[in-house]
Amino acid sequence: MSTVSSSVLSALLKADAPVSGAALATQLHISRAAVWKAVQLLREQGHPILGTPRQGYRLLRDSVLSREGILRFWPDGQAKPELAVLDTVDSTNAYAKARAQEGAPDGFAVISREQTSGRGRYGRHFESPGNAGLYLSLLVRSSLPLNDAVL
């Protein structure tokens, strides 16, 4: 999701009434056309956004999995975690491992609706079809010696 689309979605999630495109543009320091394009992109992704002339945009009950949708429930005053929300991924665990090698912080989470190559215990294949569950891996950096990790 683009930064502009993410910002528009966040603003609509926070709003309790329709927000005009002009107000969104002013609030987000972008053009009115950029707001319109972001709304179109969000609609294509499945976000139910109602646009009413002379009233503005309103997000209807949103059931699309998104970082913004998750973080809106995050407690105020607490640092927001680094979070990757994906429609599909080969494996949330493999994705988290790759990001860990790139320096992702402790607490980094990967959430996906589908895994194409999920693995369970002992490397067994793990069925994780789309829209049948949520699949999550969490990066935990521990100070324990590797020998004690299983404790």
Cross-strand partners of 86: 112
Query: Is residue 110 very low, low, confident or very high in pLDDT (cuts 50, 70, 90)?
Result: very high
- Quick: pLDDT tens for 4-21: 888 998 899 888 899 999
- Quick: pLDDT tens for 70-83: 887 788 888 888 99
Residue 139 has pLDDT above 80, yes or no: yes
User: What's the rounded Cα separation, in Å, for the pair 68 and 62?
Assistant: 11
If we measure between CA atoms, which residue out of 27, 52, 49 comes closest to residue 38?
49
CATH architecture of the domain covering 3-59: Orthogonal Bundle (1.10)
In the chain, domain spans: 3-59, 81-148
